[in-house]
Structure 1
């Protein structure tokens, strides 16, 4: 989630302004960049419990971690006197509702820069965490913490969301408090380019979900899923989640997406340093001056930007496209997600080939993958084969795309394809991160999840 918003921009009086806002994201390929986001759970080594915001009685808290990282030339961001985020050279560290730490990286020109950024951040985290007796775990869902054990971070938007979530689905609070993901944000050249990338990314998001599946436990026991995090989104809020069938229909473009977003109920409006509950209205109401909380007032462009961040489809459009289908994972897989999508989407011939792979899929095909991949992962049956077969094709395309990009690492004389190696091993073995943990749980771990902290922490 973003740091606290600001109130900026002239009042918005027409839908056309909102369309223009998205159109302004179009860039020539020479200016395309790669932005990554990844989340992780903080825990104390002595008892493997999550950290509260404020430490007490000699126990560390989330605030201690933020202040510690601040020593590395990060600028603190405060809300109501409490530090809730950090900023530095285009990057930010923010908090998810349950205290999950998120790095939102700067816009990088190649995957070598992305991976250097990720490793620098994790090294800083280690230096801060070790003296405090704190570890960081990359998984899609915590292996044993209950919902009641999860802390709530002191951010106003989260209080509104926490009240609203149970009205829309049974797992929304788990989404907020107990999930972690890794994402990549990518650019587009034009409306047509955006549409093709959006369609390919939505269609193939289940492949990423399968490859990165890493949330098989709930409160210490197998939960029947490989990506429970992905399943959670299916019962969070139908107004703002899902695979967006209209993206594959004729007429898809910036305006069509704006129409969709306008009719999604709002969460909040930010005014004078306070979050105002706006859950009874859509943004279209606000645009028409009919917001219950601020009657007669028109939205600012910053309100639109805030609202865009409260939609949670598998791929999200802002002034770039966000790939949202992957569980959090270990350090070596954090660079693999951007490698997968950059290889598929940033080279014209590869993007065309990826579109050829998915363009005849039906809505039933998309629904089948979305419904079954969280449970069966790479073993999900699909069109006479399995998702593993599909993943092999997708990785071959991504490999070809990265080879065509030919961005070399001067230190070791390797191109960006090196970052696909963890995914190639998963496809070759047929064993996802979740299945590896389940295998060890049922054998060497003696049906315990405690070894996860020792073996898989950053």
Structure 2
């Protein structure tokens, strides 16, 4: 979330209003947009340490410098700047100081890649003045959980206390992971269902192609994407690959039922986060929420609750593709290119569904379990996932060519897939590449990752 929500909207008194909230996301294809979000680790160049919020070279100083120099508007929580906004874009903080750009909804990959480039240029300029770097990896490669400073945001205090009750790795998820994701639109309930199913089935392919988190506390951890593995032991109530999405009759109502079954985290009122962890949103609908007795939820309360669900694909008024490790500049553009190519062209969407519609629930679960460790080498249907990845990238490429959204030089969007095509063809993921360097020219020195992979 980019900023504290504003408590507004009409009271919700009926489950049907929750369904209508999601249905309101349906829009014709000419209004479909692309929203790219990416996180990265900020660190001091002098000692590679993560940044606290306070201090002349802290996270707060970066936010204030961006506001002063580049015209971002400050978003406050108490006395602290905890986010920035400019138009429909925002800069926000994850619990461990991960720096996130939540991009504006844009029409083409060319535009979203330009937005990413502008943002990275801004933070790089500020970083040069403050002695700060930014690193795009899925998991913090060096520092222990207890070495990570927590950001002063009220919702994180509540989540920090609740997470250990549900899994062993939730605090690692909060403080030591970074991702890149893309948010995409749908035309109708049927279109949403098809895109949701393709997104869930093929999310392990994205995880493998983008895997770049093979280090924990300075040593190899045995995973290609440790970030992805962490989600398997964070909170079983709100994570996973959602098998019910593939059942007959799935739609907005079934997703609402799922969301209502997930315990709450908080309610935001009058500038404060109220601890509602473990409480039932259905009680809220009935006016029986213990922290707000007699009050009914507002539209913003429902939207806030939807943001606390963490499946591999998440439904709000759009679909969020959430399976990839954060990465370097080119891969930040490749992630939206992959999913736009697969989901925004009808022929490509049909081809992607034909590829995965016969996969069983057991096969999908096995991919979700094994890909974080094995990546493209994961065994699948007599071969490996690498063969599937080649097909997926080619389908996406054809989808982007069919979209024919041209840049000024006449290029379509398909060239943004080049880095993924190379990975799929060679089978060498970013994680494999880094492990080879660690064991070779880096001679086991994890600090080299900060030198070679910083923006």
**TM-score, length basis structure 2:** 0.99
| Alignment partner, residue 219 of structure 1 | 217
2:70 matched to 1:69?
A: no
Q: Deviations over 1:21-60 (max 9, x none)?
A: 10000000000000000000000000000000001xxx51
- Give 3-state SS (helix, strand or coil) of 2:74's partner: strand
| Alignment partner, residue 368 of structure 2 | 370
| Alignment partner, residue 146 of structure 2 | 148
| Aligned residue runs from structure 1 range 238-253, under 5 A | 238-253=236-251
- Give 3-state SS (helix, strand or coil) of 2:268's partner: strand
2:408 matched to 1:386?
A: no
**Equivalents in 1 of 2:74, 2:120: separation in Å?**
18
| Alignment partner, residue 17 of structure 1 | 17
- Runs of 4+ displaced beyond 6 Å: none
| Alignment partner, residue 456 of structure 1 | 453
| Alignment partner, residue 427 of structure 1 | 424
Match of 1:399 among 397, 400, 403: 397
2:322 matched to 1:324?
A: yes
| Alignment partner, residue 41 of structure 1 | 41
Match of 1:178 among 148, 157, 176: 176
- Give 3-state SS (helix, strand or coil) of 2:7's partner: coil
**Equivalents in 2 of 1:255, 1:400: separation in Å?**
33
Contact 1:186–1:321 (8 Å) recurs in 2: yes
Cα shift at 1:413: 2.2
**Equivalents in 1 of 2:430, 2:309: separation in Å?**
28
**Equivalents in 2 of 1:362, 1:295: separation in Å?**
45
| Alignment partner, residue 416 of structure 1 | 413
**Equivalents in 2 of 1:129, 1:145: separation in Å?**
20
Q: Deviations over 1:310-330 (max 9, x none)?
A: 000000000000000000001
**Equivalents in 1 of 2:198, 2:169: separation in Å?**
28
Match of 2:266 among 265, 268, 273: 268
- Give 3-state SS (helix, strand or coil) of 2:236's partner: coil
- Give 3-state SS (helix, strand or coil) of 1:276's partner: strand
- Give 3-state SS (helix, strand or coil) of 1:78's partner: strand
**Equivalents in 2 of 1:280, 1:214: separation in Å?**
33
| Aligned residue runs from structure 1 range 267-346, under 5 A | 267-346=265-344
Q: Deviations over 1:274-330 (max 9, x none)?
A: 000101312112112221111221101100010000000000000000000000001
- Give 3-state SS (helix, strand or coil) of 1:41's partner: strand
Contact 1:100–1:180 (8 Å) recurs in 2: yes
| Alignment partner, residue 76 of structure 2 | 78
Match of 2:441 among 432, 439, 444: 444
**Equivalents in 2 of 1:344, 1:38: separation in Å?**
20
**Equivalents in 2 of 1:429, 1:206: separation in Å?**
18
Cα shift at 1:98: 0.3
Cα shift at 1:414: 1.1
Q: Deviations over 1:98-125 (max 9, x none)?
A: 0000000001001000100000000001
Of 210-219 and 420-429, more deviation after overlay is shown by: 420-429
Cα shift at 1:2: 2.8
**Equivalents in 2 of 1:116, 1:7: separation in Å?**
33
RMSD: 0.7
2:378 matched to 1:357?
A: no
| Alignment partner, residue 163 of structure 1 | 161
- Give 3-state SS (helix, strand or coil) of 1:361's partner: coil
- Give 3-state SS (helix, strand or coil) of 1:335's partner: helix
**Equivalents in 2 of 1:51, 1:433: separation in Å?**
25
| Alignment partner, residue 114 of structure 2 | 116
Cα shift at 1:153: 0.5
- Give 3-state SS (helix, strand or coil) of 2:300's partner: helix
2:124 matched to 1:126?
A: yes
Contact 1:280–1:292 (8 Å) recurs in 2: no
May I ask how many residue pairs the two structures share in their alignment? Answer: 454
Gaps of 5+ in 1: none
**Equivalents in 2 of 1:50, 1:133: separation in Å?**
12
Q: Deviations over 1:167-203 (max 9, x none)?
A: 0000000000000000000000000000000000000
**Equivalents in 2 of 1:314, 1:274: separation in Å?**
29
Gaps of 5+ in 2: none
Q: Deviations over 1:325-373 (max 9, x none)?
A: 0000011110000000000000011101111111111110111000000
- Give 3-state SS (helix, strand or coil) of 1:136's partner: strand
Q: Deviations over 1:123-181 (max 9, x none)?
A: 00111110110000000001101000101100000000000000000000000000000
Cα shift at 1:456: 0.5
**Equivalents in 2 of 1:220, 1:206: separation in Å?**
26
